Amino acid sequence: MSDSNHISGADAIILALQAEGVETLFGYPGGAIMPLYDAMFRFGNQIRHVLTRHEQGAIHAAQGFARVSGKTGVCITTSGPGATNLLTGLADAFADSTPVVCITGQVNARLIGSDAFQEADILGLTTPVTKWNIRITSSADLLQGLSQAFYIARTGRPGPVVVDIAKNVLLEKIHFDYQICAGMPSYHPEPVPDDKKIRRAADWINQSERPILFWGQGVLLSDASNELRLLIDKAGLPAASTLLGLSAIPADHPLNMGMLGMHGNYAPNVLSAKADLIVAVGMRFDDRVTSDPSTFLPNARVIHIDIDASEHGKVMQPHLAVVGDAARVLRSLIDYVEPALHEDWVAEFRVLQEMETDKVMNSDLSLSGEQIQMGAIIRRLSERFPSNTLVVTDVGQHQMKVARYYKFNTPRSMVTSGGLGTMGFGLPAAIGAKIACPDQPVLALIGDGGFQMTMQEIMTIVQEKTDVKVIVLNNGFLGMVRQWQELFFAKRYASTELLNPDFVKVVDAMGLPSKRISTSREIDSGIDWLLASNGPCFLEVVTDPEENVFPMVPPGVPVSEMWLEKNLTLIV
Amino acid sequence: MKNSYLVTVYAHDRIGLLLRIAQLVSRKNLNIERLTLHESAVPGVTWINLVVKTDSHTIHTLVKQLEKQIEVLQAFHVVEPVRVGFSESEQKTRQVIS
């Protein structure tokens, strides 16, 4: 640590970031934060700064960086509009427990509250969407505030933290004695799990005849993929993932029954109603998983393992709540459970899996029709790209198709906006993912609607030479909303049809090699082109405009009554 | 069934603390009926009392979420009015923070 006496607040922030091991910043400069940018420049850009084209792009990139690497993403913006543009990303990171530290400029302390130029109450605005936030108006509080911000963002259940720093603090001289935060008196991020409860959980697992394990992103956040795999192998537990838990266990693992929820797989959804025991690990019973919670899991005892005690009983009242880190609890459980197979129970999953293959997957994955089916190209990408490929999606139909048909094999290889469902997330998040893992291929799969929300970030890719393969699945509609209009609003397509630009020309003009394919025959040549491209490139895939995502749990319907196809009798 | 609940929060005081607590209450679509706030026996630790009308499930989730906040040392609730001396958990807190 530096013992240099009395440096400017801005210089101190750079040194503090280095002490925290930060190598990359995502940001956008402006008036109130200029001294910090000047310090970056004077330090010879020792920390890489990625200039995005919008602050929302900066925070989504920081999220993508954090999600694939497990490190804290750092984002820097100016005051006022610079900081308000972060709100969507903060809410997204809060919903998806992503460790992000945002340093926002603020007007000079003596001007705070005076409606100064580019002043906004960032402490007030970000409170509902942050794990923690702090406004620093005096240089005496700067270093402690920063070290606590990094500590809080990465520990326990991770989340976004905002450090709002008044401009005078950046200019004032301080003594640099930065110390990495090792704990705070009122914050206990790693609760010790109760061994008695873990033993009872193991007893219940041993007694159970029809158990299912549900896992969520908590497994990835605590690096518990191996423990999870050992547990389900030993106890013979069929297991199903939430959207954000995908990739923790290889897709082809025989006990991986796929995804839960509205567009998840048929077998785990239907059989959840028959299960006598649910072991839920690092997941929060989102309404997209449970549908109506009063109809969810009618016959099961529920064991809920989560590091965040406030999740226990929030949606589902568990019969046994274990507070603790997933890896730690699972390690104990592995020791206590007895080997089992549950062959008859697993066979019931196989029957339903075959039904889903017959009624949904065969046509979804068909390469024989003229028009491209989203699922078909996604499955081909999955087969042809290396198994360590990082896949980043946007939000909508293509996201569900990726979740269903891309076969994830490596933990943290899937990045998507789950809880908040933020359109526009995909492209900037893919940039962050590639910067965090430069040696792994990165695919950004995005719909035509979401792409147009943040497509300016193509220029960030060009400027930073970030090797992201961008694939836009263009069906000319806001597809997921159109699907609901088809099913529940008698095909009244209110404001869902898009007049799109010529994406290939636009992206080409921005400086990326671009190509369009529009028939099933061209899928393989399109993928050949992606694989052969050195550096970033853009592929537009024109798909069937009225493709739907099935199976589906319609709103209010119990998950066990999931539809495999359009149910005409129930449609308005 | 709705009850009047008295929620007590002990927390390290700083700018934005009350905002964060009030926001958690309004996020649950609840109104704060009464609010008192003052420094506790321990300097820097604020004692906040607030009264909300809600059901037992909501109050449990609210108190857990209050307790999860970084500055909060302890949060608990009782059905109003049960204010004779100190509750067991309050006594425990007094021991912890003093």
Q: Report the half-sphere exposure of B89 (CA within 13 A, side-chain side).
A: 11
Per DSSP, the three-state class of A395 is coil
Residue B72: list chain A partners with CB under 8 A: 186
pLDDT per residue over A252-300, tens digit each?
A: 999 999 999 999 999 999 999 999 999 999 999 999 999 999 999 999 9
Distance, in angstroms, between B23 CA and closest chain A CA? 7
Burial A528-560 (b: 16+ CB within 10 A, else e): ebbeebeebbbbbbbbbeebbbbbbbbeebbbb
Average pLDDT in chain A: 97
pLDDT of residue A2: 46
Residues of chain B with pLDDT under 70: 81-87, 98
pLDDT per residue over A21-41, tens digit each?
A: 999 999 999 999 999 999 999
Mean pLDDT of A183-193: 95
Residue B23 contacts A, CB cutoff 8 Å: yes
Q: A362: which residues sit within 8 A by CB, 6+ positions away?
A: none
Is the Cβ–Cβ distance between A159 and A127 less than 8 Å? no
Q: Report the half-sphere exposure of A519 (CA within 13 A, side-chain side).
A: 5
- What share of chain A in percent tops pLDDT 70? 98
pLDDT of residue A226: 98
pLDDT of residue B81: 63
| Cα–Cα distance, A61 to A56 (Å, whole number) | 8
pLDDT band at A420 (very low <50, low <70, confident <90, very high): very high
pLDDT of residue A1: 44
| Cα–Cα distance, A35 to A105 (Å, whole number) | 10
ipTM for the whole complex: 0.93
Is the Cβ–Cβ distance between B32 and B50 less than 8 Å? yes
Instruction: Give the β-pairing of A173-174 and A211-215.
Output: unpaired
Residue B14: list chain A partners with CB under 8 A: 134
- Other C-beta atoms lying within 10 Å of the C-beta of residue A115: 8
pLDDT per residue over A299-325, tens digit each?
A: 999 999 999 999 999 999 999 999 999
* Beta strands in A379-490, from DSSP E residues, in sequence order: 390-393, 414-415, 442-447, 468-474
Query: Are B73 and A152 in contact (CB < 8 Å)?
Result: no
pLDDT of residue A566: 84
Dihedral sign computed on CA atoms, order A317, B9, A112, A179: negative
pLDDT per residue over A467-493, tens digit each?
A: 999 999 999 999 999 999 999 999 999
Residue A135 contacts B, CB cutoff 8 Å: yes
Dihedral sign computed on CA atoms, order B80, B38, B62, A186: negative
Compare CB distances from B70 to A152, A312, A313 and report the shortest one's residue.
A152
Return the number of CB contacts < 8 Å for A and B. Answer: 45
pLDDT of residue B83: 54
Query: Are A310 and B65 in contact (CB < 8 Å)?
Result: yes
**CA A97 → CA A184, A282, A406, distances in Å?**
20, 11, 23
Reply yes or no: is the peptide bond before residue B81 cis, omega within 30 of 0.
yes
Mean pLDDT of A421-429: 98
Name the active-site residue from A23, A34, A118, A486. Answer: A118
Residue B20 contacts A, CB cutoff 8 Å: yes
Distance, in angstroms, between B62 CA and closest chain A CA? 8
| Cα–Cα distance, A32 to A37 (Å, whole number) | 10
pLDDT of residue A572: 45
- Number of helices (H), then strands (E), belonging to chain A: the values are 24, 20
Dihedral sign computed on CA atoms, order A182, A183, A188, A194: positive
One-letter amino acid at A123 equals L
pLDDT per residue over A94-146, tens digit each?
A: 999 999 999 999 999 999 999 999 999 999 999 999 999 999 999 999 999 99
Residue A152: list chain B partners with CB under 8 A: 70
A55 is catalytic: yes
* Beta strands in A316-456, from DSSP E residues, in sequence order: 320-323, 390-393, 414-415, 442-447
Name the active-site residue from A20, A56, A167, A552. Answer: A167
- What share of chain A in percent tops pLDDT 90? 98
- Can you read off the two tokens belonging to residue A524? 């393989």
pLDDT of residue A567: 73
- Can you read off the two tokens belonging to residue A258? 């796929």
